[in-house]
């Protein structure tokens, strides 16, 4: 497929040039504002590139043509994604007047134009198309096996280096696409891929698509892992519930109506929390939507019907099992395929298609009743568990009522130790939840009181993973947080009512601090989850070191930064970094030569108000980590591992992730 050939097929050079100019404009737009297409240009954006290409290979699998994806991270941090799909078409595209392959690789949103009647990950919500990856790559190379021939094209920052070439033939039936690329250093701040991060999405995809083998190789790290789950969603649910003590074997439901396949696995465990993950075309719909509503409606109705019919609830008893009672201890994965999904909500992760509700409801209703009829002992176990939940819910309601009568949860009666801000426009206000009274004191003095509120909390709050709602509500620190934030709790929580646009957790940079931060995050995740999905939760980043030279002061947030500052003073090669690395918390190191003093902060409380403001609280200069639920499944797993009953997985997790343990969330 060469340009000359294109011209022979009736395309004038001027038409061709006009198309090319549009392509260049498109690529330029992507390079100018990359964050608009891939979220950011840090580590997340970098990993997004791989996901984008992999999603295209997954679409081929959804269409029924691909059974294997191999991702290779090369030593130079370039990446190859190889599949066994149909191969990207190479014939002349009628509108663009050039090889379809070139169009897919260079024209924004071209992927979706080809076959409409399919379920797509790419081109949908996250799907921006491989052309975006191409535009943001120093170089890209694509190889297609199709029609018995091997085709190839190469690009530089999205621009083809030449026409599509035929470079060989192959004998077998092995059609497919192989895309290699290297992220552009001019665009990305991060350059290194993390095996675990890439593995996480590949594992998820392998669970969701039971016939696919996903292989990940990292040639830089010497790691390789193959993901293949013949049990699909059943294996996924077992994995999510590993540490919870399941009550029975997973229940599996499968069906299809109106071209909408529905697949669900669910299981009840001994835990109190709910753990439901929903997907549409392999995209994690964090905000739920019509598929989830249909599922819940059917679950509640089917279990209630069964319970009455089989005398598990007496006709004249006062108990009715509500939707909430069926949430306790439920782990489920819901996966639907929708031809033209509509995504709504704040993060566009809520399925809006109305018809999907009744499709899921009907399928679950039918298949679950059948299952219950055939598995009476499991049915009884689940209904017993839900009856206990109903009783506990009633007790919690009474407790809440009691606390509410004392006005403890109500934002009309703010907690005494809250130093509130003076303006009351939530969008511009932020609250620092600070560990300890002494740090709280410094923060109160150092803050900008117009828009920054401070709530000091005492040491370790309750571990909410292990407690019931009525216990949680009795805890003073939790009451203070609930009423300060002012948006309710649990089922009644409404993040729109939050009195602050940013909830910032500020804890010491030591082991206790990170424990407290995890407890706080667990609480927010379980009982104010929408705050996290809405992107309102942050983690403050106080410095670890102060380096003083005469009157000048420098702050370092980690060891690397500290060493960079020392290097600027030309102190390298003299073993100063090693000495500094041995610095104990709360100690100082005096470096004779130039009157340089390095101190390592023990806690926030050691900083004076001015230091705390300038290093950690001033919006102009601070850095904060935004907490997100990019993969709710992964976050939940982390919480479960760190907070649940099983000790061994927790130990293993902490050893593996050491200092990142709390930041991966
Ligand atoms: C457009 C149309 C068709 C397949 C693809 C694109 C395709 C894209 C990628 C990206 C990575 N692997 C891929 N595999 C296929 C449909 C092809 C047909 O109808 O034969």
- Closest CA to ligand 1's atom 7: 88
- Tokens standing for residue 188: 């990305």
Q: Output the CA 1–ligand 1 centroid distance in Å.
A: 18
CATH number at residue 533: 3.40.50.670
User: For 538-556, b where at least 16 C-beta lie within 10 A, e where not — what string?
Assistant: bbbbbbbbbbebeeeebbb
Residues 310 and 458 in one domain: no
Residue 565 lies in a domain: no
For position 74, what pLDDT does the model report?
Answer: 98
Residues 247 and 308 in one domain: yes
Ligand 1 pocket by C-beta < 6 Å: which residues?
Answer: 56-57, 60, 83, 85-86, 88-89, 104, 111, 114-115, 130, 177
- Ligand 1 atom nearest to CA at 176: 14
Domain count, the chain: 3
Residue 212 lies in a domain: yes
Residue 586 lies in a domain: no
**Given ligand 1 and candidates 55, 60, 147, which is best to mutate, with the most ligand atoms within 8 Å of its CB?**
60
The answer to whether 606 touches 209, Cβ cutoff 8 Å, is no
Tell me whether residue 235 is one of the annotated catalytic residues: no
0.75 exceeded by the pTM? no
Residue 562 lies in a domain: no
- Closest CA to ligand 1's atom 20: 86
**Given ligand 1 and candidates 103, 114, 122, 174, which is best to mutate, with the most ligand atoms within 8 Å of its CB?**
114
Q: What is the 8-class DSSP label of residue 33?
A: S
Classified as helix, coil or strand, 662 is coil
More confident residue, 604 or 182: 182
- Tokens standing for residue 452: 């920054």
Catalytic residue among 287, 435, 477, 640: 435
CATH number at residue 283: 3.30.230.10
Residues of the chain with pLDDT > 90: what percent? Answer: 54
User: For 167-179, b where at least 16 C-beta lie within 10 A, e where not — what string?
Assistant: eeeeeeeebbbbb
User: For 583-616, b where at least 16 C-beta lie within 10 A, e where not — what string?
Assistant: beeeeebebeeeebebbbbebbbbbeeebbbbbb
- Boundary-marking domain end, from 376, 400, 424: 400
The answer to whether 126 touches 50, Cβ cutoff 8 Å, is no
Residue 632 lies in a domain: yes
Task: Write the pLDDT tens digit of every residue in 458-498.
Answer: 866 766 666 777 778 888 898 899 999 999 888 788 999 99
- Tokens standing for residue 542: 């106080």
Residue 659 lies in a domain: no
Q: Output the CA 285–ligand 1 centroid distance in Å.
A: 25
Residues of the chain with pLDDT > 70: what percent? Answer: 83
- Ligand 1 atom nearest to CA at 86: 20
Give a three-class secondary structure readout of 173-225: CCCEEEEEEEECCCCCCCCCCCHHHHHHHHHHHHHHCCCCEEEEEECCCCEEE
- Boundary-marking domain end, from 381, 400, 419: 400
**Given ligand 1 and candidates 177, 178, 179, 214, which is best to mutate, with the most ligand atoms within 8 Å of its CB?**
177
Task: Write the pLDDT tens digit of every residue in 372-426.
Answer: 999 999 999 999 999 988 887 787 777 777 766 666 667 677 888 999 999 989 9
Tell me whether residue 435 is one of the annotated catalytic residues: yes
CATH number at residue 33: 3.30.565.10
Q: Output the CA 157–ligand 1 centroid distance in Å.
A: 22
Q: Output the CA 173–ligand 1 centroid distance in Å.
A: 16
Question: Rounded to an integer, what distance in angstroms lies between the CA atom of residue 198 and that of residue 538?
Answer: 24
508: containing domain: 410-541+625-644
For position 522, what pLDDT does the model report?
Answer: 82
Mean pLDDT to the nearest integer, 171-199: 95
Catalytic residue among 138, 154, 512, 630: 512
Statement: residue 90 has pLDDT above 90: yes
């Amino acid at each position: 497929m060469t340009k000359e050939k294109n011209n022979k097929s009736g395309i004038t050079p001027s038409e061709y040039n006009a198309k090319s100019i549009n392509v260049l404009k498109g690529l330029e737009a992507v390079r100018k504002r990359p964050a608009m297409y891939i979220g950011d240009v840090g580590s997340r954006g970098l990993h997004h590139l791989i996901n984008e290409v992999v999603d295209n290979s997954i679409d081929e699998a959804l269409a029924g043509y691909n059974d294997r994806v191999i991702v290779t991270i090369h030593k130079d941090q370039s990446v190859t994604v190889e599949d066994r799909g149909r191969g990207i078409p190479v014939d002349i595209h009628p509108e663009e007047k050039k090889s379809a392959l070139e169009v897919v690789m260079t024209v924004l949103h071209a992927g979706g134009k080809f076959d409409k009647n399919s379920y797509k990950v790419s081109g949908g919500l996250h799907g921006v198309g491989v052309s975006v990856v191409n535009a943001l790559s120093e170089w890209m190379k694509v190889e297609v096996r199709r029609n018995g021939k091997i085709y190839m094209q190469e690009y530089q920052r999205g621009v083809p280096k030449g026409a599509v070439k035929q470079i060989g033939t192959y004998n077998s039936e092995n059609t497919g696409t192989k895309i290699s690329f290297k992220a552009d250093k001019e665009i990305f701040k991060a350059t290194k891929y993390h095996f675990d991060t890439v593995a996480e999405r590949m594992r998820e995809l392998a669970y969701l698509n039971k016939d696919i083998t996903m292989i990940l190789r990292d040639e830089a790290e010497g790691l390789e892992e193959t993901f293949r789950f013949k049990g699909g969603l059943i294996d996924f649910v077992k994995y999510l519930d590993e540490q919870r003590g399941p009550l029975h074997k997973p229940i599996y439901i499968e069906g299809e109506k109106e071209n909408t396949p529905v697949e669900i696995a669910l299981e009840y465990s001994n835990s109190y929390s709910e753990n439901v993950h929903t997907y549409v075309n392999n995209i994690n719909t964090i905000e739920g939507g019509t598929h989830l509503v249909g599922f819940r409606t059917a679950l509640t109705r089917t279990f209630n019907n069964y319970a009455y019919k089989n005398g598990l609830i007496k006709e004249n008893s006062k108990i009715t099992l509500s939707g909430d009672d069926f949430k306790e201890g439920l782990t489920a994965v819901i996966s639907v395929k929708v031809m033209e999904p509509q995504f709504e909500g704040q993060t566009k992760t809520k399925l809006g298609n109305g018809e999907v509700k009744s499709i899921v409801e009907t399928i679950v209703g039918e298949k679950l009743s059948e299952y219950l009829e055939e598995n009476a002992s499991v049915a009884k176990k689940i209904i017993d568990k839900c009856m206990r939940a109903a009783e506990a819910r009633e007790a919690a309601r009474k407790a809440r009522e009691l606390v509410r009568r004392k006005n403890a949860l109500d934002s009309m009666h703010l907690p005494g130790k809250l130093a509130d801000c003076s303006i009351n426009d939530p969008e511009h206000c932020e609250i620092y939840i600070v560990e300890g009274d002494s740090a709280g004191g410094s923060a109160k003095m150092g803050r900008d009181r117009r828009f920054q509120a401070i709530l000091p909390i005492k040491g370790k709050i309750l571990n909410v993973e292990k407690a019931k709602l009525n216990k949680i509500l009795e805890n003073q620190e939790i009451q203070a947080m609930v009423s300060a934030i002012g948006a309710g709790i649990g089922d009644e929580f409404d993040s729109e009512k939050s009195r602050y646009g940013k909830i910032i957790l500020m804890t010491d940079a030591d082991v206790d601090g990170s424990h407290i931060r995890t407890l706080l995050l667990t609480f927010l995740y379980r009982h104010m989850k929408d705050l996290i999905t809405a992107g309102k939760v942050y983690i403050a980043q106080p410095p670890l070191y102060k380096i003083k030279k005469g009157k000048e002061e420098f702050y370092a947030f980690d060891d690397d930064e500290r060493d960079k500052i020392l290097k600027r003073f030309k102190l390298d090669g003299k073993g100063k970094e090693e000495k500094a690395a041995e610095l104990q918390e709360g100690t100082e190191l005096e470096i004779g030569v130039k009157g340089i003093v390095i101190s390592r902060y023990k806690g926030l409380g050691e900083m004076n108000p001015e230091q705390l403001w300038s290093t950690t609280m001033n919006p102009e200069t601070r850095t904060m980590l935004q907490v997100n639920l990019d993969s709710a499944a992964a976050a939940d797993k982390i919480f479960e591992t760190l907070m649940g009953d099983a000790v061994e997985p927790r130990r293993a997790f902490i050893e593996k992730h050491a200092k990142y343990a709390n930041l991966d969330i």
